[in-house]
């Protein structure tokens, strides 16, 4: 079943075209990695999926519904949640309280307090439940970003460069958490510059450059592409 369908998304800021005629299908249960240089339009693409930015043209379909003009808050309640490249916790609130925000305003039914506790355990943050978010390490802030999004009970989880700035051991720990989340049936799209992290978990890679989709497919095949090598390593890679 196709959970997310993007059709010909285009977004410009004046003369700068950030997304160019971008189309993509994401199946339920997929784990898709998105690669591209800085400024390629990846985060703007996420913003159009979540509804914080509206496309100039094109359509966003989610779970069989056209949500192109649906507000971001409603898309969250429908089952789209995300983390941010730079963590944005409520620094004066505890880890538990931050996660409770996601549990209260997301899609999930039932007691949000219980859902917040469940997510604390799933993401390995139970021992920090009463710690102020402003006192967390970078790794734990990244975990909190994911945990708060998960507390919204998403069908689709968007991760924006969540491995950036982590050590190798911290990255391995984060990958374990992502695998566990995916194993529960959550569909994931992950933007990342840490290529080896994406290669370790993604079922499919999509490469973006200058707002356009360059290629997509099996991770090993995509990374072996001469065009992808050229984007990441310069024209000499084509020789």
**The pLDDT value given to residue 203:** 95
b/e map of 38-73 (b: 16 or more CB within 10 Å)? eebbbbbbbbbbbbebebeebebbbbeeebbebeee
The residue-averaged pLDDT of 92-119 equals 94
Read off φ and ψ for residue 182, nearest 5 degrees. Answer: -65, -35
In a domain, 207, yes or no: yes
In a domain, 172, yes or no: yes
What is the percent of the chain with per-residue pLDDT over 70, rounded to a whole number?
A: 97
**The pLDDT value given to residue 183:** 95
In a domain, 132, yes or no: no
Enter the pTM of the model.
0.93
Domain with 7 in it: 2-88+155-238
Summarize pLDDT for 204-215 with one digit per residue, the tens.
999 999 999 999
In a domain, 149, yes or no: no
Contact criterion met (CB below 8 Å) for 190 and 202: yes
In a domain, 148, yes or no: no
In a domain, 141, yes or no: no
Residue 68, domain CATH:
3.40.50.300
* Number of domains composing the chain: 1
């Amino acid at each position: 079943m196709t959970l997310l369908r993007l059709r010909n998304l285009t977004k410009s800021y004046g003369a700068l075209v950030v997304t160019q005629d971008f189309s993509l299908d994401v199946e339920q249960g997929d784990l898709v990695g998105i690669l591209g240089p800085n400024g390629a339009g990846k985060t703007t693409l996420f913003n159009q999926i979540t509804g914080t930015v509206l496309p100039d043209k094109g359509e966003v379909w989610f779970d069989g519904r056209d949500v192109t003009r649906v507000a971001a808050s409603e898309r969250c309640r429908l089952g789209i949640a995300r983390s941010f490249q730079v963590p944005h916790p409520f620094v004066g609130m505890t880890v538990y309280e931050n996660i409770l925000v996601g549990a209260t305003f997301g899609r999930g039914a039932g007691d949000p307090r219980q859902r917040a506790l469940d997510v604390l355990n799933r993401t390995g943050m139970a021992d920090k439940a009463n710690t102020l978010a402003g006192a967390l390490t970078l790794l734990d802030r990244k975990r909190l970003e994911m945990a708060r999004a998960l507390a919204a009970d998403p069908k689709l989880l968007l991760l924006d460069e969540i491995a950036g700035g982590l050590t190798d051991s911290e990255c391995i720990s984060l990958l374990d958490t992502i695998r566990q989340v995916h194993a529960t049936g959550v569909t994931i799209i992950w933007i990342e510059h840490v290529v080896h992290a994406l290669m370790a978990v993604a079922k499919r890679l999509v490469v973006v450059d200058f707002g356009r989709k360059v290629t997509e497919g099996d991770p090993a095949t995509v990374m072996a592409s001469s065009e992808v090598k050229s984007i990441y390593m310069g024209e000499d890679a084509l020789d």
